[in-house]
C-alpha cells in the first residue's frame, strides 16, 4: 500500500510537467543475465524488466523500474540428487541516471545508482522476504533513430537480509528505449 | 563531455570495487552433515537420536564467527520401508544444552523439542530415497531453527508412526544447512 502510494504521488507530480513539455521522458524494456555473487544456493539466471525515464534536470534522469529475476537451479556437489530450485527476486525501484540523454543519435555512456524494494521468493521451500536494496552500475545507450535507443548496462545489486547479511548479484542487460516526446 | 566521462569512470570504479568487496564481505553457503544408522544415528525405544556438531565442518568452521542468518534446513534420507503401507517421518531438533537425549520419551521430545520436518513420506516398497528438494516442502518452524543452530550444535530426533525397525528404518541421512555469513 505504501509503495503504491509513493508511485501514485510520483506520477501525479510528473504528469503535468510531461504534458507541459517541460520534462523529457521515455519508456524502455530490457532483458539479460543475472549472476549471483557468492550464493551457493543460486545459479546464473535471467532478468527482464520495464522502466520509465524522466529527465528532471540536465544530465540527470530518474528511472522508476520493475525487474523480474529468476535464478537458475544450483548444482550442489555434496548432494546425491541436486534438486534445489533457484529463487525469484522481484524488484521495484528508482535509479538515478547520470548522463545518457533523451533520444538522438550517437553513443551516450552513463552511470547509475538505484534503490529499491526486493522481494525474494523460493517456491520450493515457501521462504519469502521483502528487503531494501541498492544498485550501482554503468551503461551505454546507442541512438539508432531520434526516438529509439539501444541500451546496454551492467549493474550490481546488494539486498539486505535478516541478521545483517546481504545477497548480491550482478546483471548484464540489453534493451530498447523509446522517446515518444522527441 | 570529458567531465561526464570522468563521472562515469567514477561510477564504473565504484561498481567494480563493490563487486570485488562483496565477494569478500558476505555470501550464502551450503553444508551437509551426515548421520549413519547404528553409528551417529541410533534407534532407541521410541525414536532415532543423533548428536550434531557442525563445528568440525569446513564451511561452518570458515564462517562461524561471522554467521548472520540460518536460511534453511533440509534432509536427504536413505531408508527402507517394507511395512506394506506408506509411512511418514517427523524430525525434531533441540539445542545441545537440552536435557533431552536417547532415554527421553517420544512425548517429551514432542513437548520440548522443535518440529522441523513434518510428515516426510517414506513410501513402502523396499529401499527409498528422499531428496533434499522433496524435504523442503515439509520444513516447519524456520525461525526457531535459526536460533537453535546458531551455536552449531543440536540434538536430532526422528520417528515414523510405527516403531518397527525391522521393516522400516533410516539407513543414513544428510542434514543440509544453508546459511549467510558477512564480514
Q: Which residues of B touch A37 (CB under 8 A)?
A: 19, 22-23, 27
B22: left (phi over 0), alpha (psi -120 to 50) or beta: alpha
Q: Is residue B1 part of a domain?
A: no
Give me the interface pTM, i.e. the ipTM: 0.79
pLDDT value of position A29 = 97
Taking the mean position of all CA atoms in its chain, how far away is CA B171? 17
Question: What is the domain range of residue B55?
Answer: 27-182
CATH number at residue A97: 2.40.160.20
Q: Could you tell me how many residues make up chain B? A: 183
Please report whether residue A63 resides in a domain.
yes
Q: What is the extent of the structural domain holding A161?
A: 26-178
For chain B, the domain total comes to 1
Q: Which residue has the higher pLDDT, B26 or A127?
A: A127
Interface of A with B in 11-70 (CB under 8 A): 37-42, 59
Q: Does a structural domain hold residue B41?
A: yes
A136 part of contact set with chain B, CB < 8 Å: yes
Q: What is the mean pLDDT of chain A?
A: 89
Instruction: Judge whether B150 lies within some domain.
Output: yes
pLDDT at A111: 93
This prediction has a pTM of 0.84
Average pLDDT over residues A109-115: 94
CATH number of the domain within which B91 lies: 2.60.120
Could you tell me if residue B13 is inside a domain?
Answer: no
Neighbours of B13 (CB within 10 A): 12
Which pLDDT tens digit goes with each residue over A18-45? 665 667 889 999 999 999 999 999 999 9
- Average pLDDT per run of 10 along chain B, which is 183 residues long? 55 58 72 90 90 89 88 91 92 93 93 94 90 92 83 90 82 92 82
Amino acid at each position: 500500500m505504501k509503495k503504491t502510494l509513493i508511485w501514485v504521488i510520483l506520477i501525479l507530480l510528473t504528469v503535468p510537467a510531461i504534458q507541459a513539455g517541460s520534462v523529457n521522458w521515455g519508456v524502455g524494456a530490457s532483458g539479460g543475465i543475472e549472476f549471483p555473487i557468492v550464493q551457493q544456493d543460486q545459479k546464473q539466471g535471467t532478468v527482464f524488466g520495464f522502466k520509465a525515464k524522466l529527465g528532471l534536470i540536465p544530465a540527470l534522469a530518474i528511472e522508476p523500474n520493475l525487474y523480474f529475476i529468476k535464478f537458475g537451479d544450483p548444482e550442489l556437489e555434496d548432494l546425491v540428487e541436486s534438486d534445489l530450485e533457484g529463487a525469484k527476486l522481484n524488484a521495484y525501484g528508482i535509479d538515478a541516471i547520470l548522463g545518457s540523454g533523451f533520444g538522438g543519435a550517437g553513443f551516450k555512456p552513463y552511470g547509475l545508482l538505484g534503490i529499491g524494494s526486493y522481494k525474494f521468493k523460493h517456491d520450493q521451500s515457501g521462504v519469502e522476504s521483502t528487503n531494501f536494496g541498492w544498485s550501482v552500475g554503468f551503461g551505454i545507450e546507442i541512438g539508432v533513430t531520434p526516438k529509439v535507443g539501444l541500451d546496454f548496462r551492467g549493474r550490481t545489486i546488494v539486498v539486505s537480509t535478516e541478521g545483517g547479511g546481504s545477497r548480491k548479484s550482478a546483471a548484464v542487460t540489453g534493451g530498447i528505449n523509446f522517446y515518444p516526446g522527441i | 563531455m570529458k567531465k561526464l566521462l570522468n563521472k562515469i569512470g567514477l561510477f564504473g570504479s565504484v561498481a567494480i570495487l563493490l563487486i570485488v568487496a562483496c565477494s569478500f564481505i558476505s555470501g550464502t553457503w551450503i553444508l551437509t552433515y551426515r548421520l549413519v544408522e547404528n553409528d551417529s544415528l541410533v534407534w532407541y525405544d521410541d525414536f532415532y537420536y543423533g548428536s550434531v556438531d557442525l563445528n568440525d565442518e569446513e564451511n561452518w568452521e570458515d564462517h562461524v564467527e561471522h554467521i548472520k542468518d540460518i536460511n534453511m534446513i533440509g534432509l536427504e534420507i536413505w531408508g527402507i520401508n517394507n511395512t506394506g503401507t506408506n509411512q511418514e517421518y517427523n524430525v525434531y531438533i533441540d539445542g545441545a544444552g537440552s536435557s533431552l537425549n536417547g532415554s527421553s520419551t517420544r512425548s517429551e521430545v514432542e513437548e520440548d523439542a522443535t518440529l522441523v520436518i513434518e510428515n516426510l513420506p517414506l513410501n513402502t516398497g523396499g529401499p527409498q530415497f528422499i531428496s533434499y528438494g522433496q524435504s523442503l516442502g515439509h520444513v516447519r518452524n524456520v525461525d526457531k531453527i535459526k536460533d537453535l543452530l546458531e551455536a552449531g550444535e543440536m540434538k536430532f530426533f526422528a520417528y515414523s508412526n510405527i516403531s518397527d525397525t525391522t521393516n522400516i528404518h533410516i539407513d543414513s541421512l544428510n542434514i543440509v544447512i544453508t546459511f549467510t555469513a558477512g564480514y
